[in-house]
């Protein structure tokens, strides 16, 4: 029986090559509240992620800020495990393996990512990055 080799989380080559482009724009998360956040699911495991907040200081929540997290709970109003991206700002390129990203706030944002060839369905554990994040 022949074994079919596939790339996985430990496959170095999958993370050394350029990522397959993924772009999503015009995201307005409309939060944070205990039941409103936006989950962006990636088609494959990411190699890197960058988020740009196009919000303005005239918007209501936190001066147009956007919360970025790796679980729904982290970006909710009572959450504490998030990154706050101010209006008219961008993150640096984050080298992260994840399958989804959670956003809340009133800024309009865009997300660009480099995806690996690793399908999210091949990951047996929760690899959204939310394991251990409350």
Whether the per-residue pLDDT at 22 is higher than 80: the answer is yes
Residue ranges making up the domain that contains 114 = 19-122
Residue 13 burial by Cβ neighbours in a 10 Å radius (0-12, 13-18, 19+): exposed
Q: What is the CATH number of the domain that holds 43?
A: 2.60.120.770
pLDDT tens digits, residue range 38-84?
899 999 999 999 999 987 654 444 467 888 998 888 887 777 788 99
The whole-model pTM stands at: 0.79
6 located within any domain: no
* Window from 25-29, 33-37, 105-109 with minimum mean pLDDT: 33-37
66 located within any domain: yes
**Tally of structural domains, the chain:** 1
How many other C-beta atoms are found inside a 10 Å radius of the C-beta of residue 84?
13
Q: In terms of Cα–Cα distance, which of 116, 133, 9, 122 is closest to 80?
A: 133
87 located within any domain: yes
């Amino acid at each position: 029986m022949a074994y079919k080799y596939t790339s996985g989380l430990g496959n170095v080559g999958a993370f050394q090559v350029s990522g397959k482009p993924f772009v999503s724009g015009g995201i307005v998360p409309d939060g944070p509240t205990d039941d409103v956040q936006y989950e962006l699911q990636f088609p494959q495991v990411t190699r890197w992620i960058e988020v740009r907040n196009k919000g303005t200081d005239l918007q209501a929540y936190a001066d147009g800020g956007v919360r970025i997290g790796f679980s729904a709970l982290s970006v909710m109003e009572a959450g504490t495990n998030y990154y706050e991206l101010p209006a008219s700002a961008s993150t640096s390129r984050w080298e992260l393996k994840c399958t989804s990203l959670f956003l809340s706030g009133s800024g309009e944002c865009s997300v660009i990512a480099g995806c690996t060839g690793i399908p999210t369905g091949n990951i047996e554990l929760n690899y959204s990055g939310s394991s251990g994040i409350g």
